[in-house]
A = this chain, B = another copy of it.
Amino acid sequence: MLTYILKPVPFNESFSPMPPTIRDVAKKANVGIATVSRVINNNTSVSEETRNAVLVAIEELDYTPNPIARQLSTGRTLTIGVIVPNLTLPSYVERLRGVQAALAESEYHMVLYSVGNPLDRDNYFKDLSRNGLVDGILIISLPPDDAQAERFAQSDVPTVLIDAYHEQLCSVLTDDVRGGEIATQHLIDLGHERISFLSDILETPFHPSSYYRYQGYRKALTENNIPFDEKYRISGERGRMYARKMAKQLLTMPEPPSAIFAGNDIQAIGILDTARELQIRVPEELSVIGFDGIRDAEYTNLTTIDQHLHESGEEGVKMLLQELESLSAAPVLKRLSLELVQRNTTHAFTG
């Protein structure tokens, strides 16, 4: 019999371990729960008097509406899912900063889905647009394949790609070909002709931007009638350490380049390391230009192509918020501008 009495434990008004619900407020204010809901949601159809009574009850109970219940009821989560490769590269972080800054001014929160391997990526791509966990999706530097893009496009969760492209989806992009061209042209303008291109692997790219930058490099050479020489092109594993090794290979060959265009800033920094090690003075004896415009480029005084990473994040959010309020059909594409930032690692060719 005791159990019977113990189980329900009703009306324990004095001490409530559970947070108050809308029902508690309604009871306290002597109104229906719908009225409380109206007050919470600023619905106009509530008399000033009633509203105040509810407000007082809310205050006294220190009540906060339960977002989960709200989400289930409305179908909106006020959450944006951001799918991003593990924060290994500074460029991802910088883009994320932009996303965060833009999202801070909206009513949306940000859930970070960090991708460590292709499987992670595929899982997030597959589930996130349909499990109701997010209202919108932002994908950074991870190009979806056709089937995945189709899935996103079909789903009713708006999706925007940043630094990735698919014809079916909205995207914020950089013109990597043009960037590669600008970088190379800068070196040519300085009088260089033996110009190397050092990057990560172009053939089976995780992400094709290096390849596009390479195309820009080739284009600039052609336009200036400088023959392309395969021996000045080198590519390998990603990362500063690998860049060092590649740079060493480049700089120790018989007729070394007088300038190197690196696929990204980190690789450019690796080149600077090697130059120091080999006692090659930069920029007097060797010009180096990077690509990205990460903060480290500033710290190391690296000349680079700034692709406005922060802005890419902001623009992505802006685009997504627009989709969110007016589900437009056609994919929008926004190209970001590029900027040559001259610092201390490029110099006129000196014999």
A322 at the interface (CB under 8 A from B): no
| Interface contact B112-A112, CB-CB below 8 Å | yes
User: CA A346 – CA B67 in complex, angstroms?
Assistant: 54
| Interface contact A96-B100, CB-CB below 8 Å | no
| Interface contact A100-B127, CB-CB below 8 Å | no
Binds B, one of A36-44, A103-111, A281-289, A328-336: A103-111
Taken residue by residue from 287 to 325, chain A's Cβ proximity to chain B (1 for < 8 Å, 0 otherwise) reads as: 000000001100110000000000000000000000000
A348 at the interface (CB under 8 A from B): no
Residues of chain A from 102 to 147 with CB closer than 8 A to chain B in the complex: 104, 109-114, 116, 120, 127, 130-133
In the complex, chain B residues whose CB is within 8 Å of the CB of A17: 156
A236 at the interface (CB under 8 A from B): no
In the complex, chain B residues whose CB is within 8 Å of the CB of A113: 109
A327 at the interface (CB under 8 A from B): no
A69 at the interface (CB under 8 A from B): yes
A249 at the interface (CB under 8 A from B): no
Most chain B beta carbons < 10 A, residue from A65, A101, A114:
A114
Closest B residue by C-beta to A109: B111
A224 at the interface (CB under 8 A from B): no
- Residue in B97, B112, B296 whose CB lies within 8 Å of A100: B112
Closest B residue by C-beta to A65: B131
Closest B residue by C-beta to A265: B299
Closest B residue by C-beta to A127: B64
Taken residue by residue from 70 to 98, chain A's Cβ proximity to chain B (1 for < 8 Å, 0 otherwise) reads as: 01100001010000001110100100110
Given A67-B133, A133-B67, A104 and B114 contact (CB-CB distance below 8 Å): yes
Q: List the number of copies, as a whole number.
A: 2
Closest B residue by C-beta to A116: B104
Contact size range, A:
35 or more
Most chain B beta carbons < 10 A, residue from A90, A96, A112, A130:
A112
In the complex, chain B residues whose CB is within 8 Å of the CB of A87: 93, 96-97, 100
A19 at the interface (CB under 8 A from B): yes
| Interface contact A64-B114, CB-CB below 8 Å | no
| Interface contact B109-A67, CB-CB below 8 Å | no
User: CA A24 – CA B96 in complex, angstroms?
Assistant: 39
A148 at the interface (CB under 8 A from B): no
Closest B residue by C-beta to A344: B276
In the complex, chain B residues whose CB is within 8 Å of the CB of A296: 295-296, 299
Most chain B beta carbons < 10 A, residue from A87, A130, A240:
A87
A269 at the interface (CB under 8 A from B): yes
A56 at the interface (CB under 8 A from B): no
In the complex, chain B residues whose CB is within 8 Å of the CB of A97: 86-88
What are 21 A-B residue pairs whose CB atoms fall within 8 Å in the complex? A17-B156, A64-B130, A65-B131, A66-B131, A68-B68, A68-B71, A68-B72, A68-B133, A69-B72, A79-B111, A87-B93, A104-B114, A104-B116, A109-B111, A109-B112, A109-B113, A110-B112, A240-B299, A269-B299, A295-B296, A299-B299
Given A100-B112, A109-B111: 9 more A-B contacts, CB < 8 Å: A66-B132, A67-B132, A72-B72, A79-B111, A87-B96, A104-B114, A111-B111, A111-B112, A299-B299
Give the 9 A-B residue pairs with the shortest CB-CB distance, closest first. A68-B71, A100-B114, A68-B72, A111-B111, A87-B97, A72-B72, A110-B112, A66-B132, A64-B131
